[in-house]
Amino acid sequence: MSIVMINGGSRENGNTNLLSARAVHGLEVDIIQLDEYNISPIVDERHAEGGFSEVADDFMQVMDRVMEYDKIIFATPIYWYTMTGTMKQFIDRWSQAMREDRYHDLRERMARKKGYVIAVGGDSPYIKGLPLLQQFKYIFDFVHLPFEGYVLGQANKPGEIEQDKKALYSADLLNQTLKEDT
């Protein structure tokens, strides 16, 4: 099965990247570094006459790319106890995607994929990161994407994730799962 990883962080070689790299080590993965794309905030026109206006940015291109894969990994540093604003801007635009003709069957397609979350935070992520996981569950449920698992990690300074054995092991387990399911 093919894999895409959507990375919401902004720090090269950040802890989230290190942990994510471990989770997909030895696998072919299309990594989308969201901050390299121009993705505008959603303008909510769900109830506007004529619906959503077309937006001249990279969103649809990124979304199309994501939808090509069987497994979607959302990798995000935990900023202020939830996903980064960059990742949130991307997800917000799904409201628009779901109203596009080419995504009339988004849920049917998502239902056949598998979703994963990798999230690394510095301030007690094993407790204060739990609402984020609950939100990802709601998000996945809404689009019918099965929530197949998550990896939490605790780290602040560069490289610190290497101290979090539980996170490393969870990433290794995810790696194994992804490999067995290929």
Residues at the site binding a second copy, with contacts judged by CB under 8 A? 9-11, 14, 35, 41-45, 47, 77, 79-86, 88-92, 94-95, 123, 126-128, 130-135, 137-139, 142, 147, 149-150, 157-158, 165-166, 169-170, 173
Based on CB atoms, which residue is closest to a second copy, 38 or 182?
A: 38
Based on CB atoms, which residue is closest to a second copy, 30 or 123?
A: 123
* Cβ within 8 Å of residue 25, ≥6 positions away: 175
Secondary structure (DSSP) of 46-61: TTSTT-SPP--SSHHH
In whole angstroms, give the CA distance from residue 152 to residue 126.
7
**Nearest distance from residue 72's CB to a second copy, in Å?**
15
**Nearest distance from residue 13's CB to a second copy, in Å?**
10
Q: Which residue's entry shows tokens 């090269």?
A: 12
* Cα–Cα–Cα angle for 37, 154, 130, rounded to 5 degrees: 80
**Nearest distance from residue 173's CB to a second copy, in Å?**
6
